Amino acid sequence: MYDTVIIGAGPAGMTAALYAARSNLKVALLEAGIPGGQMNNTVDVENYPGYALISGPELAEKMFEPLENLGVEHLFGRVEKIEDKGDFKTVIIEDEELDTKTVIIATGAFHRHLDVPGESEYNSRGVSYCAVCDGAFFRDEDLLVVGGGDSAVEEAIFLTQFAKSVTIVHRRDELRAQKVLQDRAFANEKIHFIWDSVVEAIHGDDRKVNGVTLKNIKTGEERQVDFGGIFIYVGLDPVSDFTAGLGITDELGWIVTDDHMKTAIAGIYAVGDVRQKDLRQITTAVGDGAIAGQEVYKYVTEHS
């Protein structure tokens, strides 16, 4: 039996594993993909203490490196369910069950879809949710970025190194991104803006995307505009479906915790982007993970 099973190997999960393992706990770090989470989709990290500039994948690698030497077991699998059995919990994955004294949920969040005609049809054929992953495939194209927050503006700026032009469409008449990012976008001659508008449909041919229908939400006017690629950044949804029935989420699926990362169930903790919180950054994820790593140590020692 494990002392703790950490579900998700983003910055929150890896930090929790670091702290728990340094407390001599038996730790399993369970991940469905490569370690790093959303960091792997970030080209430049400029707001992490100690680094003026570091790539997301490089930072993920540096966070993961020390864990093996500390005895953390790195497991692969997608969690289907967590069962609370009182003194211990069972984490059920596709073909295995893991018994553990505690669970730390660090599964993060995923990009929300527009749910408009053509979006799923042209996913990976011109529709993307990751500029870092796909930007180089769109050289000399006119691209559309949907959204007005930090991610949308950061990715629009990134795309200008490949694209002929980048247009940001936003449902409001001003961006929500940090001012430093807004200033960079407004100063970039390749970036254009369409305000008070939403994407109503995505169009293409047999091969790929070739444009969208935009609707001005103030006037109701619709028009079709040609684009060679669509990058969507309209918010996040938590990866928490497997917690259904535990009663630890709010109505939107974000896991509710106290300041000690404790959920409504003793021995189950949540950290990082999956947690109900205001600021979702690498730094806040790391802070959550450190707290949870200490809390599971306290829990295990008190219940042993």
pLDDT tens-place string over residues 98-147: 999 999 999 999 889 999 999 999 988 999 988 877 888 999 999 999 99
Note whether 60 and 39 are within 8 A (CB).
Answer: yes
**Can 259 be counted among the known catalytic residues?**
no
For the stretch 222-280, pLDDT in tens is 999 999 999 999 988 999 999 999 999 999 999 999 999 999 999 999 999 999 998 88
pLDDT tens digits for 67-107?
989 999 999 999 999 999 999 999 999 889 999 999 999 99
Complete domains list, the chain, with CATH: 2-110+236-302 (3.50.50.60), 113-232 (3.50.50.60)
Of 29-43, 76-90, 151-165, 283-297, which range is least confident? 29-43
**Residue 288 is a catalytic residue:** no
pTM: 0.80
Catalytic-residue membership of 133? yes
Q: What is the mean pLDDT of the chain?
A: 95
Name the active-site residue from 3, 44, 84, 133. 133
Residue 156 has pLDDT above 80, yes or no: yes
User: Active site residue: 84, 95, 115, 130, which one?
Assistant: 130
Active-site entry in 44, 84, 134, 142: 134
Residue 205 CB contacts under 8 Å (≥ 6 apart), including other chains: none
C-alpha to C-alpha distance for 68 and 37, rounded to whole angstroms: 18
Nearest to 103 by CA among 77, 135, 81, 132: 81
